[in-house]
Amino acid sequence: MAIRPYRPSDFDAVHLICKATADAGVPMTGLPDPDIVGHCFAGPYVTFEPELASVHEDEQGVAGYVIAALDSTAFEARWRAEWSPRFIESHPPPSVSAEPEADAWLRELLHNPSSPAAVEFPDHPSHLHIDLLARARGAGVGRRLLDALFDSLRAKGSPGVHLLVGQTNTAAISFYRAVGFTELTTSVPGLAAFGMRLD
Amino acid sequence: MVSLYRDTGVVLRVQKLGEADRIITLLSRQHGKVRAAAKGVRRTSSRFGARLEPFCHVDVQFYTGRTLDVVTQVETVDAFGSGIVGDYPRYTAACAVLETADRLSAEEGEPALKLYLLVVGALRALSGRERDPALVLDAFLLRAMSFAGWAPALTECARCGTPGPHHSFSVPVGGAVCGGCRPAGAAKPTADTFRMLDALQHGNWPVAEGMPNTTRRESSGLIAAHLQWHLERQLRSLPLVERNRVAEVQ
C-alpha cells in the first residue's frame, strides 16, 4: 500500500480507473467506446505532464491516481495541437450521425477542450483530477495523493490549483472541503469549482 | 457573479447596435443562449469582427455588463461558414438550422448542451459537403424537435401507443396514428416515408440516402409541417402564459 510517482507502465491502469469512476464514481453508460472517457480525462495528463501524476497501489494493483496540469491554458493549447489530431479518424468531432449525447459531448471535448479556467480562476492556474476505486476510498488515500500533488505543484511554482465537480456529487464535494479546498465562483451551470492556494 | 467568463458557441444571429457595434446571439456549450455586445466590430480595424459572423464556431470571452455582456476576446474553433456560404442549398439549410436553434432556445443562460451539439454537428456536416444538405437539415430538425420534447411518434401510434407500422400521420396528434385513432385530414405517407423518417431520426444514412426523391420530399414536408405547427403554437400560447403568471403573483 503506497503512494508513488506515476510510471509509463501505469497508463492502462489509470485509463481503467478513469473509465470506472467517470460518472461521480461509477462508469458512464451508453458510450459506443468507453475508452473515450480516458482519452479526455486521463490520457493527455499522463502523456504531457507525467511528473505531476501519482498513483496509489495496493496488493491488487493500482487503485487510484491524481493527475494535473500545471498551466491550464498552456495545457489546453498543447491538447489541441498534439492530442486532438490523434483521434481524428477513431473519434472524429460529432456530425449528424446519431451518437448518444454523452458520446457527442466527449468527442466535441476531445477536439475542443475549452475550459473556463483561464478567465475565471487566474489565481489558481493549475487544475487536477483525482479518482479512486471504491476499495481505496475512505482510508486517507485521497488526502495523501493530493499532498503529493501539492508538493509537486509547489516545486514547479504554481500559485494555486482548481478543480471542477458536478454540483450533485456530494461525496466528492464533502471530501474537497474536508481536505481544505475553498469554493470558487464559476459561471458554468451545474458545476462547482474548488481551489487551493499553494503559496 | 463572475465578471469574466468564457465559452464555446455557434453564432446564430448578429444585429446592428449603434454606429459600429453589433449584438451577437450565440448558442454556447455551457451557458445556452447568450446575447452579447461586440464593440467596434463593424469598423475595418476590428480585431475579431470577421470571426463573429453567423455559422462561426468560436471560443469567446465575455465581460459581464449591466444590461448586455460584452465580448472581449474571440478565437475561431471551426470556420464552418467557408464550406457553407458559397453553395446556395447548403447556405439555406444552414440558415434554417440557426433559425430553428434560435427559436428553440428561448431562455438566455439556460443550458442547452444537446441542442448545441446538434447545431455544431449539422453545421459540420453541411460544411463538410459529404451529405445531401436537405437530408442533414431534416435529420437536424427531427432531433431538435426531440430536444424540445415534440419528437413525432414514428413507430407506435401517437395517441394510443399501439405498436406500428402505421399508415397515417397527423401533425396535431403528434405523428403516426393507427386506423382507430386516425383523425379526419391525416396524411397517408408511404411505408418508405416512415422508414425514411426513422432512418433520419436514428442516423441510418445508408437507408436515408438510398430513398428516391418522392420519398425525400414527402418526409421533408411532414417534418416541416410538424415543426411549424409546434413553433406557431408555442408563439400563440406564450403571451397567455406570461399573463397568467403575473395574475398569480398579484
The pLDDT score that the predictor gives to residue B187 is 94
Which grid coordinates are listed for B130? 459529404
Q: Which of A27-31, A134-138, A193-197, B138-142 has the lowest mean pLDDT?
A: A27-31
Residues in chain A within 8 Å Cβ distance of B127: none
For chain B positions 99-138, those within 8 Å of chain A (CB to CB) are 109, 111, 113-114, 117, 120-122, 124-125, 128, 131, 136
For chains A and B, CB pairs below 8 A equal: 76
Ramachandran category for residue A30: left, alpha or beta (phi over 0 → left; psi -120 to 50 → alpha): left
Report the candidate in A148, A152, A159, A169 with the shortest Cα–Cα distance to residue A196: A159
The pLDDT score that the predictor gives to residue B243 is 46
Instruction: Kindly report each contact of residues B78-82 with a partner whose C-beta sits within 8 Å and lies 24 or more positions away, as own/partner.
Output: B78/B120, B78/B123, B78/B124, B78/B127, B80/B10, B80/B55, B80/B56, B80/B123, B80/B124, B80/B126, B80/B127, B81/B53, B81/B54, B81/B55, B81/B56, B81/B127, B82/B127
**Average pLDDT value for chain A:** 94
Residues in chain A within 8 Å Cβ distance of B131: 96
| pLDDT exceeds 50 at position A27 | yes
- Over residues A112-146, the pLDDT tens digits come to 998 888 789 999 999 999 999 999 998 899 999 99
Going residue by residue through chain B, which has 250 residues, state the pLDDT in tens, using 9 for 90 and above: 568 999 999 999 999 988 888 999 999 999 999 999 998 877 777 777 778 899 999 999 999 988 899 999 999 999 999 899 999 999 999 999 999 999 998 777 788 999 999 999 999 999 998 899 999 999 999 999 988 888 899 999 999 999 989 999 999 999 999 999 999 999 999 999 999 999 999 889 999 999 999 999 999 999 999 999 988 876 555 445 444 444 444 4
Q: Which helix (DSSP H) or strand (DSSP E) does residue A127 occupy?
A: strand A126-132
d(CA B222, nearest CA chain A) in Å: 20
For chain A positions 166-195, those within 8 Å of chain B (CB to CB) are 185-190
pTM (2 d.p.): 0.89
Residues in chain A within 8 Å Cβ distance of B5: 116, 119-120, 187
Report the candidate in A75, A86, A74 with the shortest Cα–Cα distance to residue A110: A86
The pLDDT score that the predictor gives to residue B236 is 52
d(CA A61, nearest CA chain B) in Å: 37
Residues in chain B within 8 Å Cβ distance of A110: none
